[in-house]
A and B are shown apart, each in its own frame.
Chain A
């Protein structure tokens, strides 16, 4: 019995995959996206099949006992449940996705997407959107519909929106209707944040350093990418690993200086991530900073939102 059920399930899954290849809405398309009848799919759920079986049993009973009242009741239940298919379908029909707006998010985190649907004076209570394998309910009540879903971002830069499945089983859970949408829109993902190494104290410009003179603060373990000249050789000799000197944070007013070229010995992505981490730290601390990239283009100094986003966008867009 179990084997039969399993086989049935796997056949069903295979069928669904096969159907998927024919399904509409797989190719990216321009907004607004309106769900018309050609791209709305609907099948009974497992509960729906169970109720179909129940109705068959009731039908057989009513017919066998030649009981017309029971037959009428069966017809009534059957007609009602079958018509619920239309309500389920109506949950999606004419739904129009007007715009997608992504919040800022870092690679490796979930990125909230704000979906705005056209206001068509209807409530769609049972909508849920599945994206990246996570099903997220987003009921739309009367008025302009807004929904927030989140996608996983595992790559920095401009990424295409993933395919989303909008589905619903309302009102009775006997049918599942769904439609695929893939808005042709890109969202920007900021690079991964690497916070293992503290930002360089003040600036590492050797010229300025000579004039300034560092306030030595403490020792910590060496991480790949630390400037060689920060290594405390004498202290390291007493341990079996390298130690580096930490310096006091720069005094306010003097901008921090995050230089691409000052980081060496690590791969490109780690470099970007570390710079991102520093930018974030400086932004949180509201400390002005300068970001200097590979091509010597520099941003700042500043510590406001615009600067922050400009820096992160530049880092994300690095080739």
Chain B
């Protein structure tokens, strides 16, 4: 074993890693890099992984740092790759790419124990950055497990590890990680959260997901293929029927020939649209996953806005700040309602009829045709349009041919293939052209009813667009033109069918999927969503209504000291001395009794001498002790395997002996 020089002798110790420590370090770095594979391009991650393996392979043959030139070349290559992909070094993705590159560089120059400790620390940091991209339960667990190689590396850097067995390096780290879980959770609960971020906007530049506030042909396409969870809805009482599950997100008024946007109408000030509500109200809780957008989704028309949100002019919900964290809100909605039943204000009517000039002449002509045929009967026009979609050879498909300048004409008369947004767009256009006020509504429709936990699981693929037309006396009426399309050209149209995952319904794994989703829901509600507000209610069960940061800090300090104290107590427990057999146990017991009576066996004292000494110290028990001593020596040393009945006898006699102190 090499001797390390001490501080007194001058220079700090320069100890190099042994082969095992280096292998563990390589594994640690590899884990940290691979964990980033979910969001960094493969052509970036794969070479980095290859470099790690190459470095490991080379160091097995020959120790020493990789030459400075190679490292400089790699640094340059990293910089070029990041620039080629992102054009900027700032932002989460380029940042993660740079961190990964630097970590591998660090491995290339790691040779000493000190290098290795730095590389392990850097790996831990890199692992943490993975979670800035994905907070899901599975990812957190995976990243947590990836701490184990890091801890094993730290252990292997210390001397005294047994030569054989890889598990020996992992054991202390894993055991300690498990033992530290209570402290981890307490720390998690008690570390005061920041009400406002220290720097930057928390989700600056992060990819926006979910529905956006504009709808051009094909915009929803990526969304309909996205099976990630958008929100979960739990109802008080029975959920609405499957064909009533329309969650309105926002209303789009303005059409410019190509895309639908909210327009000025959606931003108009003034009183809420007058609402006449009939029938029962539906109460429910929505858990919305981060969308980084302002709008919230509510079933049909909400009666009032939840906390930190307001009711828009079209009875949609707008949060006061973007939904950057999982948000939970309670809403009450009317499913049977009349919105603007009696009179549509002239301004609104104009907006609801506005069409861009010079687009889609054939569609306009068709609508005029219907209008002329139907006279004043709006319902007949609507019926005509729906009949067209139902029997006119229209196909529901996600693979849509591109549309020309006159997108509505192109869709209605040429391609006849599309999904919800094409139908909603074309239908609204036709209605407006026929003089019926109409608007597009974007939101979610359907969802998967989890029968185990009783909630509705809504995925991004449940994104939907439909139309609302205004009819005299009935107000705004929802019409879903997509629903009448009879030909569906795909098995797994994730879109509007409400399948759990990947569009497949049923299967033996369904209960497990349900359970998994319950766990995911718990994770997102209890862990991811645990913020400053939930923290301030932490001690409510103990009668403290609001807990501020200072109290939390004090509680944290107390918990840490208590934890350390308990830990120290546990650590100082002696391992119980395990007697080898019944004979040894009996003899240990006898010794304990004698010790209590005042005769303690010395370290170097044989049993014969000891019992003789005890016999002299307590004459009343002397004959018994001498007999026991002889018997013990006989049993222990005269037989390789003492006869069990004599051992039992010995044990009984020991139990009977009551030594009393005489001296």
Contacts of A62 in B (CB 8 A): 128
Contact of B528 among A61, A69, A74 (CB under 8 A): A69
* CB closest residue in chain B, given A60: B198
Assess the A73–B140 pair: CB atoms within 8 A. Answer: yes
Contacts of A66 in B (CB 8 A): 193-194, 197, 202, 324-325, 531
Within 8 A of A (CB), among B176-216: 176-177, 179-181, 183-185, 187-188, 191, 193-194, 197-200, 202-203
Assess the A78–B121 pair: CB atoms within 8 A. Answer: no
Within 8 A of B (CB), among A3-46: 37
B124 at the interface (CB under 8 A from A): yes
Complexed CA–CA distance, A136 and B159 (Å): 11
A84 at the interface (CB under 8 A from B): yes
CB distance from A96 to the nearest CB of B (A): 10
Within 8 A of A (CB), among B1-25: 1, 3-6, 8-9
A89 at the interface (CB under 8 A from B): yes
Complexed CA–CA distance, A74 and B127 (Å): 10
Contacts of B572 in A (CB 8 A): 37, 90, 93-94
Contact of B160 among A68, A79, A89, A170 (CB under 8 A): A170
Contact segment of B149-157, B506-514, B654-662: B149-157
Given contacts A84-B176, A135-B3, contact A120 B124 (CB under 8 A): no
Complexed CA–CA distance, A85 and B565 (Å): 12
* CB closest residue in chain A, given B147: A77
* CB closest residue in chain B, given A50: B121
Assess the B568–A86 pair: CB atoms within 8 A. Answer: yes
Contact segment of B131-139, B340-348, B474-482, B583-591: B131-139
Complexed CA–CA distance, A73 and B185 (Å): 10
Chain B CB within 10 A, most for which of A76, A84, A141, A170: A76
Given contacts A57-B125, A125-B160, contact A70 B132 (CB under 8 A): yes
B37 at the interface (CB under 8 A from A): no
CB distance from A185 to the nearest CB of B (A): 16
Complexed CA–CA distance, A50 and B179 (Å): 23
B541 at the interface (CB under 8 A from A): no
* CB closest residue in chain A, given B524: A68
B118 at the interface (CB under 8 A from A): yes
Contacts of B172 in A (CB 8 A): 84, 87, 171
Chain B CB within 10 A, most for which of A47, A59, A89: A47
Given contacts A80-B177, A90-B572, A126-B160, contact A171 B155 (CB under 8 A): yes
CB distance from A142 to the nearest CB of B (A): 10
Contacts of B570 in A (CB 8 A): 86
A310 at the interface (CB under 8 A from B): no
* Chain B positions 529 through 541: 1 when the CB is less than 8 Å from some CB of chain A, otherwise 0: 1110000000000
* CB closest residue in chain B, given A173: B158
Within 8 A of A (CB), among B111-143: 113-114, 117-118, 121, 124-125, 127-129, 131-132, 135-136, 139-140, 143
Complexed CA–CA distance, A171 and B151 (Å): 9
Give the total of A residues in contact with B, Cβ under 8 Å.
61
Complexed CA–CA distance, A37 and B571 (Å): 11
Contacts of B5 in A (CB 8 A): 135
* Chain A positions 126 through 166: 1 when the CB is less than 8 Å from some CB of chain B, otherwise 0: 11101001111101010000000000000000000000000
Complexed CA–CA distance, A63 and B552 (Å): 15
Contacts of B606 in A (CB 8 A): none
Assess the A71–B180 pair: CB atoms within 8 A. Answer: no
Contact of A64 among B8, B117, B194, B529 (CB under 8 A): B194
Assess the B202–A64 pair: CB atoms within 8 A. Answer: yes
B144 at the interface (CB under 8 A from A): yes
**Looking at chain A's contact residues, is the secondary structure mostly helix, strand, loop, or mixed?**
helix
Complexed CA–CA distance, A57 and B194 (Å): 15
A67 at the interface (CB under 8 A from B): yes
Contact of A72 among B113, B193, B527, B568 (CB under 8 A): B527
B358 at the interface (CB under 8 A from A): no
Assess the A73–B173 pair: CB atoms within 8 A. Answer: no
B639 at the interface (CB under 8 A from A): no
* CB closest residue in chain B, given A70: B131
* CB closest residue in chain B, given A91: B160
Complexed CA–CA distance, A67 and B127 (Å): 13
Within 8 A of A (CB), among B288-346: 324-325
Contacts of B531 in A (CB 8 A): 66
* CB closest residue in chain B, given A122: B575
Assess the B161–A71 pair: CB atoms within 8 A. Answer: no
Contacts of B325 in A (CB 8 A): 66
A224 at the interface (CB under 8 A from B): no
Complexed CA–CA distance, A170 and B159 (Å): 8
Complexed CA–CA distance, A22 and B154 (Å): 32
A172 at the interface (CB under 8 A from B): yes
Given contacts A64-B198, A171-B158, A173-B157, contact A50 B117 (CB under 8 A): yes
Complexed CA–CA distance, A76 and B144 (Å): 8
Assess the A137–B159 pair: CB atoms within 8 A. Answer: yes
Assess the B194–A89 pair: CB atoms within 8 A. Answer: no
Assess the B3–A136 pair: CB atoms within 8 A. Answer: yes
Assess the A68–B135 pair: CB atoms within 8 A. Answer: yes
A65 at the interface (CB under 8 A from B): yes
* CB closest residue in chain A, given B189: A75
Contacts of A84 in B (CB 8 A): 172, 176
Contact of B173 among A47, A80, A127 (CB under 8 A): A80
Assess the A83–B179 pair: CB atoms within 8 A. Answer: yes
Assess the A69–B176 pair: CB atoms within 8 A. Answer: no
B53 at the interface (CB under 8 A from A): no
Complexed CA–CA distance, A130 and B4 (Å): 10
CB distance from A36 to the nearest CB of B (A): 9
Assess the A75–B191 pair: CB atoms within 8 A. Answer: yes
Assess the A173–B117 pair: CB atoms within 8 A. Answer: yes
Assess the A80–B176 pair: CB atoms within 8 A. Answer: yes
B574 at the interface (CB under 8 A from A): yes
Complexed CA–CA distance, A70 and B176 (Å): 19
Assess the B154–A171 pair: CB atoms within 8 A. Answer: yes
Contacts of A73 in B (CB 8 A): 127-128, 131, 140, 143-144, 147
Assess the B125–A64 pair: CB atoms within 8 A. Answer: no
Contacts of B147 in A (CB 8 A): 73, 76-77, 80
Q: 6 closest A-B pairs (Cβ-Cβ)? A: A125-B160, A79-B180, A139-B160, A79-B183, A172-B154, A75-B187
Provide a sorted-by-A list of 6 A–B residue pairs whose CB atoms are within 8 angstroms.
A66-B194, A72-B188, A82-B564, A86-B568, A139-B160, A171-B154
* 8 more CB-based (< 8 A) A-B contacts, given A58-B128, A79-B181: A62-B128, A67-B131, A75-B191, A76-B177, A78-B187, A83-B176, A125-B158, A135-B4
